[in-house]
Amino acid sequence: MRKITASLFISLDGVVEAPDQWHFPYFNDEMGAAVDAGLGQADTLLFGRRTYDSFAGAWPEREAAGGEDAHFAKKLGDMRKIVASRSELSFTWRNSEQLRGDLAAAVTALKAEPGGQIGLSGSVSVVRQLLAAGLLDELHLLVHPIAVRKGMRLFDEGEPSIPLKLLSSETFATGVLNLVYAPADAAGSGGYEDAKAHLPQAER
């Protein structure tokens, strides 16, 4: 079964929208390695339409320009790219295709195909749906030490809670936290009466 890993830039107050407007001051070698660990290890990329359009509008030109990021741009271009959208799409970026049918059913079938890791970058609506369906294996959050205070947040209100377990954590020199989560069983029941036993006790 193939593993699906989602990687997101996120602010301290949970904003994931338009990271190009606030995250670049924090991009260093540590973050570059973390991004490569998330996307660079995949052989297939899964996108929502808006994130795909953003990638397709930038990376082919960067590959053609032959600059410092051309190698990474070529790597993205060579990978299989699958776009989840209810609208009929046409593509100019090579190795791109549309995911057909119900998202959960189609991704379940995709995970059962032969192949390596499947990566997600951005595509918040897809991440939410895969988490809710139990289909996302790892959630990589690069938490930036900034409160953006506007824009879409990763988790919206009014939906059932999603328990997660922390697999690893790392602090970058910039103050960014690299947190890797996986789905977890429900935390169970508990209240203050259970918690107070763990409070410091006064000396007698």
- Give the containing element (helix H, strand E) for 194: helix 192-195
Is pLDDT of 204 > 60? no
pLDDT of residue 142: 97
45-77 confidence digits (pLDDT tens): 999 999 999 999 999 999 999 999 999 899 999
Lowest mean pLDDT segment, chosen from 13-22, 127-136, 150-159, 163-172: 150-159
* 190 pLDDT tier (thresholds 50, 70, 90): confident
Phi, psi for residue 183 in degrees, rounded to 5: -60, 150
Enumerate domains of the chain plus CATH numbers: 4-186 (3.40.430.10)
Both tokens assigned to 33: 């390695």
Is pLDDT of 132 > 60? yes
pLDDT of residue 202: 59
- Give the containing element (helix H, strand E) for 117: strand 117-121
Share of the chain above pLDDT 70, in %: 98
